[in-house]
Amino acid sequence: MKIKKNFLFLLLTGIVLFSCSDHPSKPKTDVIIPPLGNDSGGRTIDGEPDWSQVADVIVFTHVPQNAAEALDGDSQIWTMDFESGEREFVTQGSRPRWSADGTHIAFHRNLTIWLRNMITGNEKPLTPFRSFFPSWSPDNSWIIFDAEYLSPNQTASIWKIHPDSTGLMNIAGYGTFASRFPDWSPAGDVIVFERYIQGAGSEICLMDTSGNLISQLTNNDYPDTHPQFSMDGKKITWVVDQHNNNPANGIWIMNADGTNKKWLAKGGMPTFSRDGKSIIYFSWIDSIKTETLLMIDIDGTNNKIVWLP
């Protein structure tokens, strides 16, 4: 297909092909957010996006919209090329994350993590136990994720493993708190994650790659979750309390040291654009009863739908 040829060309050349102004633009002010797979009487199209570091192509989770699409599975991974707007089915699964060089994705399937070579199409399971939310090291030599594997108290911790499934190691340890949703910094020296303490909620924190806590970046009365670095490592986006009705819920952005926090929009699972000027996320659009991908500039302006059928 044409998108596959375009994507391989982008991987090899690294040509910048995307401009924010090229997107279908329809600002929305009526956005609210249930979890992906909503029960609000509408439809879910796309969610859980991740932007390639080497091309203006996103990978994301797609919910089949008709019987023909459903033949490829109830939860699907697709790509979208921002130059052409073309979309392509990749494989069954959810929550995909690009490798730093754009040649592989790690993703969820059957409550474990799998890898797919985006050039050859080869796939393999990475973890033999329940594990979630993978993130690649910048040199592609490690993948971090969260799991309750071997936990004495059923709390999640941060693990790492090589792409060949060797070197499995728990780096955060198990204690009175759970560690989830890790994301590796572009410099490779720190990991941002959600730290949950029973009875005290969850906050966004930084650890070094050995699991030592460096700092707590948030401190509020609402659950903070799903952090992700910008590709230059200078900013972090995250989600506040996407399930409860409070005035702070939605997509936030801050400097990597925790300063200059700013609310952007109602939504979930944010990821930065390659140039760091925008954030793509998924949200429920009440006026059209649809949950799908939107994009907003990091200053909170220019909120628009990425794609609609």
49 pLDDT higher than 60 = yes
pLDDT digits (tens, 9 = 90+) for 263-285: 999 999 999 999 999 999 999 99
Question: What percent of the chain has pLDDT above 70?
Answer: 85
The predicted-structure confidence for 214-243, as pLDDT tens digits, reads as follows: 999 999 888 999 999 999 999 999 999 856
The mean pLDDT of 164-168, rounded to a whole number, is 98
> For residue 176, what pLDDT is reported?
80
65 has a pLDDT exceeding 60: yes
pLDDT at position 288 over 80: yes
| Residue 132 neighbours by CB under 8 Å, 6+ apart | 95, 108, 111, 113, 145, 146, 147, 156, 180
pLDDT of residue 242: 58
> CA 56, CA 309: separation in Å to the nearest integer?
20
**What does DSSP say about strands 87-92 and 94-98: parallel, antiparallel, or unpaired?**
unpaired
Residue 16: band (very low, low, confident or very high) from pLDDT cuts 50, 70, 90: very low
- State how far the Cα of 259 lies from the Cα of 255, in Å rounded to an integer: 5
What 3-state class would DSSP assign to 136? strand
| 3-class DSSP state of 22 | helix
The answer to whether residue 32 scores a pLDDT higher than 50 is no
* Residue whose C-alpha is closest to residue 203's, from 179, 231, 176, 172: 179
pLDDT tens string 85-141: 999 999 999 999 999 999 999 999 999 999 999 999 999 999 999 999 999 999 999
DSSP state, 59? E
Q: Is 110 left (phi over 0), alpha (psi -120 to 50) or beta?
A: left
pTM: 0.86
Q: Is residue 21 scored above 60 in pLDDT? A: no
Q: Is the pLDDT of residue 40 over 70?
A: no
- The arithmetic mean of pLDDT across residues 9-35, rounded, is 34
DSSP 3-state of 261: coil
Strands 290-297 and 43-44: parallel
Distance of CA 166 to the CA centre of its chain: 24
Residue 144 scores a pLDDT above 90: yes
Q: What is residue 250's predicted lDDT score, i.e. its pLDDT?
A: 94
What structural domains does the chain harbor? 2-301 (2.120.10.30)
Confidence band for 35, pLDDT divided at 50, 70 and 90? very low
Average pLDDT, the chain: 87
